[in-house]
Every structure is written in structure tokens, then in C-alpha cells.
Amino acid sequence: MITRTLGRSATNGGLNVSALGLGCMGLSHGYGAAVEDGAAIALIRDAVDRGVTFFDTAQVYGPFTNEELVGKALAPVRDDVVIATEFGFSLPSDTAPTGTGLDSRPEHIRSTVEDFLRRLGIESIDLLYQHRVDPDVPAEDVAGTVKELIAEGKVKAFGLSEAGVDVIRRPHAVQSVTALQSEYSLFWREPEQAILPTLIELGIGFVPFSPLGKGFLTGTIQASTTFAEGDLRGKLPRFTEDARAANQAVIDLLTAIAERVGATNAQVALAWLLAQHESIVPIPGTTKLHRLAENVAAAEVQLSAQDVADLTAASDQLPVQDERYPEAMINR
């Protein structure tokens, strides 16, 4: 697996990670029933064997169980991997989750980090993201708290998730932001307008989540597909039956390019992302070993400049139908 560096600011040497990471959320949260622990651990360790060194989890995945799973799976190779997790929701203890409101108060960040370290079984968090911007807490205060945690050795690098351009610059002036995690794919290209140029200017890495459009870009989801209970896609406007039918043109385009270069739809979608800039490290998730192997192989897919240009130009002509999330899930 080739590697890339997240964050190149003068005060932060950056994190060296595999060009493709593994988003671990789906192993225990968001896409139906959780994967049995033994199978999930086997998948994470198979990812390590295939050269993946960057693993993403969060307190709300489960909640809490995903961090424990990731910590257990990576314990034997702790020194060889980068573990990212996220704070920012009001889940104050393992035994009494009281809600999912935003909470980035400094005291809550500190108590949450102690929980992270215990659940993950580690002494320092490699990359600590603010999961969502909290409008009630100044971004500078959040960055200042993380800066203190870095000085104490409990955190190595600071990240943001789904933050806008107006927010990114403020905490970055207090504590260098190593990476921004936000949705980005051929299914959601909004970050190209202002986010990506700002990150490149500031030397901040970009970690796209849902780089395969929550599975849609693989071509395996049809208008007739039904989603299991607990699968978040069943609640998303972009995954209604009508939207899936309307968005099939995106899949037809991707399939044509994939056939041309001798790769799968998923591999081309990931290779297209990697080609956008050297600071981009997508984190596709999966619960299946064969899909993991397919995704990891995308790092070796060589798209020509013409392939990338053709895919981008054609995508420009195929606007995706419907919103990413319903109103009730914004900032969640």
C-alpha cells in the first residue's frame, strides 16, 4: 500500500498513513445488525495484513462498542497503525448515554478523551476529531483544549469533521488542524467548491468518508433494493426508490469507465478520489472480506489524466438527485 501524509503545516509534521484507510463504523453501527466481534476483528486484521494503517472510529458508533472493537483488533499492531476517533456528542458515560446533542465544552472533551483511551486501550490518540461543530462553544476554545491534550501526550493530532470554511481557519490558528473529515465522492462533490482549496492552502489533509456514496457507487444498489432495519440509508432522501432510479445514470457512467480501465466501479470511484489531490485519504468501510480486498486494490488502479477528466466532466453533467440527509439528521 502506498502512503500519504495528512497535514503539512509548519508546526505539525503530519501523519503518515496508508493511502486508503478503513472506516470502521459499519461493523457495529449504521448499516443494520452489528457484525459479530470475531468476524469484525478478523476483517480489521486482514486490512492490516493488506497494508492499511489508518483506522477510523467514534464514540457514537454503537455507541461506544466500535471503539472497544477497534482497540481490541489493533492491540497487537498498535505501534504500526494510526487510530482516529471523534468527540462532540453528549454521551457522558458508557452506562448512561443521555442523548445525541452536540457537546464540545472543554470539560466534556477532557472526560471523553479519558473514556477513549480506556476503551481503545491506548496511551495516546493519534488523531482526535471534533465530530461536528458545536455552535455553542467557540472553535478556538475547542482547539485550545485539544492543544493542551497534545501537550499532555494524550493526543497527537487534531482534526475536524464536516466543518465549513468559515470554521476551519479559526481553530487552525490556535492548534494546527491535521485533517478534515467530510463526505466527498462522485456522489457528493460539494467540497470541491471551497473546502478542498482551503485545505490545500492551509496544508490540512482531507479524509473523505462515504467515498463510495454509502455503497451506491459500487453499482450493487438498485431502485428495487430494500434496506434492513437499522440501516440508515432507509431514512436518507438520496436512497428513496425514486432517487435511486434517477441516480442510476451516475452508475452507468462509472461502469463504462470501469470497463475501459479493467477495474470495478468501487475501485474507479476510489481511484478518482485519490487523483484529486495527494492530501486525500479516503476511508471506505465494509463488513465483507472480499469487498475489503477490492477496495484496497483501488490504490493500485492507475487512471490516466484523460480518464479522470472524462469522469469529472461526465459527472458534471449528471447532477445527483435529492439531499444527503433529512432535516432532522443535519449536524448528526
Which residues are known catalytic residues?
A: 61
Q: How far is CA 35 from CA 52, 59, 77, 94, 307, in A?
A: 20, 17, 22, 20, 36
Q: What are phi and psi of 85, to 5 degrees?
A: -140, 175
Cell for 155?
A: 493526543
Report the half-sphere exposure of 319 (CA within 13 A, side-chain side): 3
Cell for 115?
A: 473514556
Q: Are 134 and 108 in contact (CB under 8 A)?
A: no
Q: What is the 8-class DSSP label of residue 64?
A: T
Cα angle 321-325-326, degrees, rounded to a multiple of 5:
105
SS3 call for 217:
helix
Place of cell 493488506: 50
